[in-house]
A and B are shown apart, each in its own frame.
Chain A
Amino acid sequence: MERNPEQFWNPYLAGVALGLVLLASIVVMGVGLGASGASLRMGVAALGAVAPGVVESSPGLARAWNGGHPFDFWLSFEVLGVVLGGFLGAYTSGRLKAETLRGPTFPKGRRLLLALVGGIIMGAAARVTRGCTSGQALSGGALMSVGSWAFMFSVFAGGYATAWFVRKEWR
């Protein structure tokens, strides 16, 4: 196969392909796609290993901690698949490369810091919304949940409202 890092799938065909994966998950397993749920289990397991006292002092963390081993969890296996699929996709397209993606003039250190900060905001937000763009917007949206659609429009609103302030990061 020709490897061209600049070559992406046609977005409409990619959408249909993603929809078929989602449909298969819903129809075969009765659950949608997810991403953030597995990170919580792993994070709590890691925190519990170094500071069990902290975990026990918070009912929410204790619940996740007692919910079971992070690898005894469907979403963890799904996320393992995401990583494998992402890796193979990047390898076969020539996009597998250790690098930091950012706008042409933006410093690398600040980009990594913002990536971390944005991740923290999303992690906290995903708890409030009971799911992220995969679990709420994609899966809940496809199943026509009212909350998921409210969530989806809100995500776009948040992105557009903030874009101007971080434009140097990307352009």
Chain B
Amino acid sequence: MNPLPLWSLSGEARELGLVVGVLVGFGFGFVLERAGFGRAPKLAGQFYGTDMTVLKVMFGAIVTAMLGTVVLSGLGVIDLRAVADHATSSTFLWPMIVGGFALGVGFIVSGYCPGTSMVAMASGKWDGLMTVIGVIVGQVAWTGIEHFPAVARLQNASDLGHLYLYDLLHLPPKVGPAVVALAVAAMAIGAFLGAQKVEQLVRAKDGLPSNATPVSTTRMVFAGFAAFAVVGLATIAIPVGTAASARRVETITPMQLARRVLDQPWKVRVVDVRPMAACAAARVPGAECVPAADLGKLGLADANGVRELVVVGSAEMTAAPDGVKAYPGRVAVLDDGFPAWEAFALKAPEAPPPGASPEALETYRLRAGIASAMTGVKAAPPPPVPAGDAGAPRKKGGGGGCGG
């Protein structure tokens, strides 16, 4: 199915994933430096109208990555919503508005943002080092008072969950992201042209030389954005996962389901088709309670089918319910239904002896994790893993990959 993202890099192949982390960071730092973002006066120029590089680089990057993800999602390479749910934080509207304003104040006072201060530090700037220290101190201090009721109330106000611009437009799921990306690209080009005008006016008034970019390069970049936006729109016409109708239903065991739910929850969508009351009482972690008769309301035919759909019933099912047949991706049915899951997950497993085989440790880890998620009781940690065998569970970073 979908080859990307390479979730294994944060699971089994974690060491390789960390190498990728260094490479990604390297590209990030190098480009920021070359754009001039290691120099506070250049960054500050954004707020005096003399140098709008911040706006140009930021919007250029956002539009590039946005068009890229939309096109790849349209081609069925990634599931945009599943990736976004993993890579972004929930929308806490008021904290983001108030905190964003404060961050902007800190930006113009220090001359950097947290990322660019690291680039400045790396290029020998003492002010960059001071900002890096400040960011650490500020974060630790605020984290230290986060449990105070007033702070917690501010911080957790207006939680709208994962909410995207295309959700606000109420467009069909396949069309929404492409339309938004097109609109943002158009808006960005407008902002670029406006920024160039402002720069030239302010610079002329201040007696500074022009900093105009060559018209040919500018045109090339704008044309590239337009071309990708058109490709993004065109992918709407591509049907994704057309082979679905010929597929037979697979069954999965509670153990296989536990592994998916614990390690790669973004890859599965668990739908519990038992009666609502039974599902509300106990269900697989992350499962949606959708009685079989209501399956039609999920709009599964329009979903892009990147996640595997696992159906949990009250007993063994020989065929998937009619309501999920239209789903374009893989569909699996839990072997022997919820009772099998209950037997597997609701009793805490016995800790394996020290020196147990990696398979036994892995089984224990999954069963302990599931049992604690289901019952709220934590099991003892597994015994130390033998050297050379990285069996540690993967740790998920904070929402935006930035707040930690």
Residues of chain A contacted by B210 (CB below 8 angstroms): none
Stretch at the interface among B81-89, B249-257, B329-337: B81-89
The residues of B that contact A137 with a CB separation of less than 8 Å are 58, 62
Q: Is there an interface contact between A131 and B109, defined as CB atoms closer than 8 Å?
A: no
Q: Which residues of B contact A124 (CB under 8 A)?
A: 102, 138-139, 141-142
Q: How many A-B residue pairs have CB under 8 A?
A: 642
> Which residues of chain A have C-beta atoms less than 8 A from B17's C-beta?
29, 74
> What 0/1 readout, one digit per residue, does chain B (308-334) give for beta carbons within 8 Å of chain A?
000000000000000000000000000
**A79: chain B residues within 8 A (beta carbon):** 25, 118
Measured between beta carbons, the chain A residues less than 8 angstroms from B21 are 29, 74-75, 77-78, 80-81
Question: Which residue from A60, A103, A114, A119 sits with its C-beta under 8 Å from B117?
Answer: A119
Helix, strand, loop or mixed for chain A's interface?
Answer: helix
What sequence of 0s and 1s flags, for each residue 36-57 of chain A, a beta carbon within 8 Å of any chain B beta carbon? 1111111110110000001000
Interface residues of A in 21-38 (CB under 8 A from B): 21-38
Task: Tell me, yes or no, whether B180 is within 8 Å of chain A by CB.
Answer: yes
Known A72-B395, A74-B10, A116-B130: A89·B30 in contact at CB below 8 Å: yes
* C-alpha spacing A128/B401, complex, angstroms: 14
Bound: A133/B64 CA distance, A: 17
Q: A161 touching B104 by the CB < 8 A rule?
A: yes
A79 CA to B402 CA, complexed, in Å: 11
In contact, A95 and B403 (Cβ under 8 angstroms): no
- Give which listed residue, A85, A120, A136, A163, contacts B89 with CB less than 8 A: A136
A104–B102 Cα distance when bound, in Å, is 26
Contact between chains at A12 and B192 (CB < 8 Å): yes
- How many chain B residues touch A (CB < 8 A): the figure is 148
Contact of B401 among A13, A84, A131, A153 (CB under 8 A): A131
**Cα distance, A79 to B136, chains bound together (Å):** 13
Given contacts A58-B145, A61-B140, A99-B126, contact A36 B100 (CB under 8 A): no
In the complex, how many angstroms separate the beta carbon of B37 from the nearest chain A beta carbon?
9
- Are A154 and B96 in touch, CB under 8 angstroms? yes
A156 to B221, CA, bound (A): 24
Which of the 9-residue segments B157-165, B230-238, B354-362, B376-384 touches chain A? B157-165
| Residues of B with C-beta under 8 A to A103 | 41
With a cutoff of 8 Å between Cβ atoms, the chain B residues found around residue A9 in the complex are 31, 34-36
CA distance A17 to B35 in the complex (A): 10
- In the assembled complex, which residues on chain B have CB atoms less than 8 Å from the CB atom of A156? 104
Within 128-170 of A, Cβ neighbours of B (below 8 Å) are at: 128-163, 166-167, 169-170
> What does DSSP make chain B's interface, helix, strand, loop or mixed?
helix
CA distance A55 to B216 in the complex (A): 56
CB–CB B164/A159 < 8 A: no
A120 contact set on B, CB distance < 8 A:
106, 134-135, 137-138, 141
Q: A89-B123, A144-B166 are in contact. Are A114 and B109 (CB under 8 A)?
A: yes
**For B74, what are the chain A residues with a Cβ–Cβ distance below 8 Å?**
none
A143 with B88, Cβ < 8 A, contacts A58-B144, A83-B122, A119-B132 known? yes
Stretch at the interface among B45-53, B269-277, B287-295, B364-372: B45-53
| B243 interface hit (Cβ, 8 Å) | no
How far apart are A18's CB and chain B's nearest CB, in angstroms? 4
Q: A10 is contacted by which of B140, B154, B217 (Cβ under 8 Å)?
A: B217
Contact A115 B122 (CB under 8 A): no
Residue in contact with A126 in the complex, picked from B98, B103, B127, CB distance below 8 Å: B103
Q: Is B38 in contact with A15, judged by CB distance below 8 angstroms?
A: no
Q: Tell me if B344 counts as interface (CB < 8 A to partner A).
A: no
Complex Cα–Cα for A67 and B392 (A)? 13
- The proximity string for B residues 142-154 relative to A, scoring 1 for CB distances below 8 Å and 0 otherwise, is 1111110000001
Chain B proximity of A10: nearest CB distance (Å): 5
Known: A32-B402, A158-B100. 17 other contacts (CB 8 A): A8-B34, A15-B59, A19-B64, A37-B398, A40-B403, A59-B146, A77-B22, A78-B21, A88-B26, A89-B123, A117-B110, A121-B106, A135-B400, A139-B88, A149-B165, A158-B107, A162-B47
A-B contact pairs, 15 of them (CB 8 A): A22-B28, A24-B24, A27-B72, A37-B397, A40-B136, A44-B143, A58-B143, A85-B28, A85-B30, A115-B131, A119-B131, A126-B403, A129-B99, A143-B88, A170-B44
Closest 8 CB pairs of A and B: A15-B60, A135-B402, A119-B134, A81-B25, A123-B138, A158-B104, A19-B64, A118-B110
